[in-house]
Amino acid sequence: MAETMRALVAGRGPEWVLAEQPIPEPGAGQVLIRNLASATNNADLPMLAEADPTNGGHGREFVAGFEYAGEIAAVGQDSGDWRVGDPVMGTFPSAFAEYLVADHRFVLPRPEGLEPEIACALPTALLTEFGALTVAGFESGQSVLVTGATTGIGMIGVQIAKALGASRIVATTRTSVKRDLLDGLGADTVIVTGEQDLTEAALAATDGKGADVVLDHVAGETFAQCLPATAEDGHAVNIGRLAGPAATIDLDALSYRHLTVHGVSFGFSRGWETVPILEGLHADVLPTIARGEIRPVIDSTVAVSEFQQAADRLRSGDAVGKIVLTFG
């Protein structure tokens, strides 16, 4: 094995820098992963900007990225049942590199036949959406409302809900252009929020009852509109805040409908919370991926040497689905 690797480094300026870095070594409880493909996330650019020393950023260099897919290259002590050569995928810091070290508990097996360029676009969404459904106590036969359903993780949320037996999936998008996309992913009803009232349309789609579980990726006024569109004794889970972190809610809708509101953010420092979610994926979700029932939407795929194309596409806001970087 070589001693250095290519990695996208932040903290040197306004853009990532493709640099040679030492290949890390796994410690106790860790595995070394040879990364074949990585996917971008919405957090990547804000983290890049926060580190930019030319514009008031902190200037601390780090390897960017979170999502990866590849194979085990080496194992440390007490690293579970992983073996060299095992195909894997996951979400962990410093993923935009040819190699990364990860806590073995956060690594997922990559289903047989699932290409790294596809697999890398799944882990963050699987953790987040399945975790949100788990927190809400979702059961097969319940209805689910997904706001911001054309976001990268929202599209996976629709598919997971369908694969796990949701009776009805209501999905929102701002424009009618993406209606067919959501139909194809399994949404039973698509609400175009630029043309329809979210609350009224969601109630109409659920026979006036509201959705048993809400997966909200938008927040702001959208979150407020979700509460009266949630069924009595239902659960509303805020996942993302595309419309900003503040919302003015109707407490009558919250109280009289006996709702439970959750906020989720599954971080690497909260293993006690995150690891059980990942373990639940093994039995409940990974088999559906192997059967082709859940697939990420890929916007574009570029070699890591062309990383600026990926950054520019991410900044444009025009990407539909994930942007993938390959490390061939």
Which domains can be identified in the chain, with CATH numbers?
4-122+296-326 (3.90.180.10), 126-263 (3.40.50.720)
Give residue for tokens 């094995």: 1
| pLDDT tens for the chain, residues 1 to 328 | 789 999 999 999 999 999 999 999 999 999 999 999 999 998 999 999 999 999 999 999 999 999 999 999 999 999 999 999 999 999 999 999 999 999 999 999 999 999 999 999 999 999 999 999 999 999 999 999 999 999 999 999 999 999 999 999 999 999 999 999 999 999 999 999 999 999 999 999 999 999 999 999 999 999 999 999 999 999 999 999 999 999 999 999 999 999 999 999 988 888 889 999 999 999 999 999 999 999 999 999 999 999 999 999 999 999 999 999 999 8
Instruction: Enter the tokens of residue 76.
Output: 């440390």
Half-sphere exposure of 308 (CA within 13 A, CB side): 4
Q: How far apart are the C-alpha atoms of 57 and 305, rounded to whole Å?
A: 25
Strand 143-146 and strand 211-216: the pairing is parallel
Strand 99-103 and strand 30-39: the pairing is antiparallel
Asked whether 91 and 127 are in contact (CB, 8 A), the reply is yes
